[in-house]
Amino acid sequence: MRYALAAGMLMLAVAACAVSRQPPAPAPSPAATDAGFAPSGGAGSLSAVAALAESDAWAVGTHTPLPRGIYPLTAHWDGQRWRAVPCPSPGGTADPTRSSLEAVAIDAPGDAWAVGRWSPIEHNARRYPLIEHWNGAAWSIVPAPSSGGHVTDLDLTAVAAVSPTAAWAIGEGVAGGHSVPVFMGWDGTRWRYLPRPVGTTTGGLGVISARDIWLVGEQGATKSVPKYRTLRRLV
């Protein structure tokens, strides 16, 4: 039985996650082709967890080794213990970035997705979406779709999957100086943008099938109407 559960911010010491030695690319969907290891030590913070079975669960978050940089963290439960699993990140030890994973979904032992964001370490740097996939042997970065410059500062906050050819992610970005929802879909080959719900800041995602998708978030406020929680079904 598939389920996903938000986790509290649990601090723990973790082993180093793998990171790319390449410098962060300026494009919003960089793909790491080489991997190394971040400095060991430091602390970790878990932000989300998903489980497929009593002996198969993933938790994701951030790893903050010394001396600087923030890297994504993935940890796996095998029924006996949790262990940190190497995960790639744009940037490297010579040019660290701020990278984090904020949500995870698992559909099969060899099919899990984690999403979040990354940015150069400079102050007020632009944010880019981070999408990673587990194939049963290793985590890898999967290119995020390009918005053509229409949406910037993307942050993916939720992900759901029902098969190797069907997954979805939601988040937020900036367009025209305003925060806008972002909705993406995976077709087994690539991620692409999907029509987004109008006027809603997305907060949660639930998928039963490709024709039964639920989003929860906040409706845009006006001067006289306060924000309220809303459920939307996409068919």
pLDDT band per the 50, 70, 90 thresholds, residue 123: confident
Which residues are paired to 183 by β-bridges? 170
pLDDT of 5 reads 37
Q: Residue 210: is its pLDDT beyond 60? A: yes
User: Looking at 16-25, 146-155, 204-213, which range is the least confident one?
Assistant: 16-25
pLDDT higher for 196 or 22? 196
Q: Span 198-205, mean pLDDT?
A: 73
pLDDT band per the 50, 70, 90 thresholds, residue 7: very low
pLDDT band per the 50, 70, 90 thresholds, residue 133: very high
For residue 176, give the 3-state DSSP assignment: coil
Q: Residue 151: is its pLDDT beyond 70? A: yes
Tokens of 30: 């960089």
Angle at 106 between CA 159 and CA 196, to 5 degrees: 20
pLDDT higher for 200 or 32? 200
Collect all residues with Cβ–Cβ distance below 8 Å to 177 and sequence separation of at least 6.
none
Domains delineated in the chain: 3-234 (2.120.10.10)
Cα 231 from chain centre: 22
Q: With the C-alpha atoms ordered 69, 37, 160, 181, is the resulting torsion angle positive or negative?
A: positive
pLDDT of 70 reads 84
For residue 227, give the 3-state DSSP assignment: coil
Q: Residue 29: is its pLDDT beyond 90? A: no
pLDDT in tens, 76-88: 999 999 999 988 8
Cα–Cα distance between 152 and 29 in angstroms, integer?
12
Instruction: State the chain's maximal CA–CA distance in angstroms.
Output: 53
Q: Give the residue among 143, 157, 142 at the shortest CA–CA distance from 111.
A: 142
Cα–Cα distance between 49 and 112 in angstroms, integer?
11
| β 18-19/36-37 pair status | antiparallel
Task: State which H helix or E strand residue 160 sits in.
Answer: strand 152-163
Do residues 154 and 179 touch, judged by C-beta distance below 8 A? Answer: no
For residue 16, give the 3-state DSSP assignment: coil
pLDDT higher for 179 or 53? 53
Cα–Cα distance between 150 and 17 in angstroms, integer?
32
Cα–Cα distance between 42 and 52 in angstroms, integer?
29
Do residues 106 and 112 touch, judged by C-beta distance below 8 A? Answer: yes
- pTM, two decimals, is 0.79
